[in-house]
Amino acid sequence: MVTLDSRPEVQAAPQSPDDVPGWFWPLDQQLFGWLLERQTAAGMRGDLLEMGSYLGRSAILIGRHRQPGEAFTICDLFDSDAPDGDNAAEMTMSYRETLTRAAFERNYLAFHAELPTIVQAPTSALAGGVLPAGSCRFAHIDASHLYEHVAGDIQTARAALADGGIVVLDDFRSPHTPGVAAATWEAVFAHGLRPICVTPEKLYGSWADPEPLQRELRLLDGDVDGCNLDVDVIAGQPVLRFSGPGVARLMPPSSCTAPTPPAARSTARSTARRLALDLLPPVAARAVRRGLRSVREHAA
Ligand SMILES: C[S@@+](CC[C@H](N)C(=O)[O-])C[C@H]1O[C@@H](n2cnc3c(N)ncnc32)[C@H](O)[C@@H]1O
């Protein structure tokens, strides 16, 4: 990954998704691609959701799998205020120097003709049924690492996910994010989340039976030089574990990256800006709901 100065005024558009700073590594890129493609191939339709997008590294890949009629909603504070002091400290320490919404938009539009629906607000603005129940097939949770926030994000994802939908939790076992670990395992043991597999950074789960997915993953050539696929049993339930410095061969590398789209970028930009929602605290959740509904109507 190339680390670039992300100030919009000095940074050129990235040539490859790997030029976008972030924390989204090849093994997870492969798993995202494999899972999203599998859903599409199986005829599953539903919206896509990301909480915590930073400069767009993971959103760019997720957006590549959006199908006609599907919405892709991303929620991030970007350069607006955090809702509490601990979250503000987290933002200052990790993101403030590099993160702007303009930089996210520039990076995303280097690979896609349209922006996703952008909710620039704390993820709590999506709570309480703001996203239609059961509307999503895939949710990536990668915003605040504080327990209270992540626990809320998991409930938001749970309500928004369709039957068989997949949730991915970032940093569920990183040394500096015990709050994510607490919220993740609470979801497993108290709220019925079923782990499918884990990588060094992420836990992939569902509220549906994980066995069919696990069976397919085990049949793939994921256990290769430098990447091990093991099976752990947690409270009687198998969980696949990818480990090692290498990368599983789940998909050809070209399937994991997003090519630069042809032309159409400048016209798309104005459409995209219309679609993007400007939501800053203390805008009420009702306003978010209204905004998302109108974007959905535009997209239909
Ligand atoms: C780890 S970064 C996301 C990385 C990104 N998914 C990637 O793969 O490159 C976390 C993001 O969450 C955002 N964030 C932190 N707290 C938030 C909150 N309470 N609500 C919404 N976004 C938040 C930050 O602005 C930051 O962009």
Cβ 57 under 6 angstroms from ligand 1: yes
What is the DSSP secondary structure assignment for residue 262, as one 8-state letter? P
Low-confidence ranges of the chain (pLDDT < 70): 1-11, 221-222, 252-300
Q: Which atom of ligand 1 is nearest to the CA of 58?
A: 8
Q: Say yes or no: CB of residue 29 within 6 Å of ligand 1.
A: no
pLDDT (tens digit per residue) in 243-261: 988 887 777 666 666 555 5
Q: Ligand 1 test: best mutation among 87, 94, 95, 147, most atoms within 8 Å of CB?
A: 95
Beta-ladder partners of 171: none
Q: Do 13 and 106 form a contact (C-beta atoms < 8 A)?
A: yes
The confidence score (pLDDT) of residue 131 equals 95
Burial 94-110 (b: 16+ CB within 10 A, else e): ebeebbbbebbbbbbbb
- Output the CA 141–ligand 1 centroid distance in Å: 9
Task: Write down the pLDDT at residue 76.
Answer: 98
pLDDT of 10-48, one tens digit each?
568 999 999 999 999 999 999 999 999 999 999 999 999
pLDDT, position 3 = 45
Is any atom of ligand 1 closer than 6 Å to the C-beta of 152?
A: no
- 53 in Cβ contact with 76 (< 8 Å): yes
Q: Whose CA is nearest to atom 5 of ligand 1?
A: 53
Q: Are 261 and 21 in contact (CB under 8 A)?
A: no
**pLDDT score, position 16:** 92
Domains and CATH numbers, the chain: 22-190+274-299 (3.40.50.150)
Q: The pTM is what?
A: 0.87
56: left (phi over 0), alpha (psi -120 to 50) or beta: left
